[in-house]
Structure 1
Amino acid sequence: MPNPSFIYNPPMSPYLSILYQDDDIVVANKPSGLLSVPGKAPAHKDALITRMQKVFPTATVVHRLDMATSGVMIMALNKPAHRYLSDQFASRQTQKRYFARVSGCMRQPSGMVDLPLICDWPNRPKQMVDHDKGKPSLTYYTVIRHSEHETLVALKPVTGRSHQLRVHMLALGHPILGDRLYADEHAKAAASRLQLHAQTLIIRHPTSHQWCHFVTPIPFTDYEPDPLTVPEYVDA
């Protein structure tokens, strides 16, 4: 099925939610429905980076979140910081944790999804599993709580492929609620927005080289997770 058409109507309040800022980085809580970077169409120019640059003109994008995904997003304020952060993301030194409400009751308490992904070109921007040409994609998951019809799950992506968490949950038979691209009609109608939130991001600071933890509350549940720790296998 092709990508369904939509009218871009980015949220305006709050216009910009800044979690942290210093001379090197600025961290924001991106709302669901706002692009990370501008689209090609004139109607899609409003984005987190354009809003940020009105306050911090030197801000540049280091990583992205899907338009429908909310949560922590970091930007660099100078070239050395951009290089330093980009290298961390490329070498998978950063730690990321998302939370999602998915359709159905996940019986397996935890596990991983190791399925290669590639763009479903005729239906772009959708992605799909392709064992021959797909890029390696790995996600760890832990069930937090569940009912008969839905599950709250913590997701830790190791790789950062486009739509990775959405396609991996779909591959398990548990599409994320409110997902207009991948969910069936029932799961799509179960929420007014995609129930996926980037709750934690841990990076090394470009200047101090100390670990920095940035977190935001999960907007679609009252669950309060314990802090995410830096694994021992990362040179902390």
Structure 2
Amino acid sequence: MSAGPGGHYLVLGAGGLGCPALLGLVSAGAAAITIVDHDVVDASNLQRQVLYTTADVGMAKVDAAKVRLRSRDPRLHVRALRLRLDATNLAPLLAAQPPGTIVLECSDAPDLKFMVNDTCLAGQLPLVVGGVQRWRGQVQAVQRGHACLRCMFEGPPPTELQEPCSLVGVMGAAAGLLGFWMAQLAVALHAGEPVAGTLWAIDTRTLLPQQMRPRPRPDCPACGAARST
């Protein structure tokens, strides 16, 4: 499946999920990609951040990713934004995207995932959101009219219960599988395929996927508000 001319993807996070997602988008024929990340390449993360090599250690992830992606497809338009996303800059960033942009939320920050979910629904931007820890993960395409991330989970866990990847670890193969899965869903959204509203989860120890497709919650503060506008 090809993303086709003009397909633009905004990838938030260039780490364990973002790296394979970026490779998947380029392989699918994406025409333009904007990469947003604030961090630098760290040697301890190379086992799952497959875009980078030891020569990139200390370099901004967005810059290293841009070089690697352009080496695979010189025609690809890549914009690198070294930016730490928060409540003040997320909405302006999303509002500045060209029509037809598909957003991929590839960070490891639960609070940011829900913030992106809410802002994309308000701005009518299709979204793919993913998460991975240890050997498990999940992916979901989000679009108006279908169940969103808050319909599934309501909100992020309390801060004291959140476990950063740096502490609990991530299996590199699990991140690769989920990242490429995110790219496939993003390309499907661009092609107009009905993939939104389904949550796929997988445990890579058993390779048994689970699929959940609930109805949108009428009282959902994110997509319920979006449906009423």
> Normalized against structure 1, the TM-score is what?
0.33
> Normalized against structure 2, the TM-score is what?
0.33
Q: Which has the higher contact order (CA 8 A, sep 6+)?
A: 2
Q: Higher Cα Rg: structure 1 or 2? A: 1
Higher fraction of strand: 1
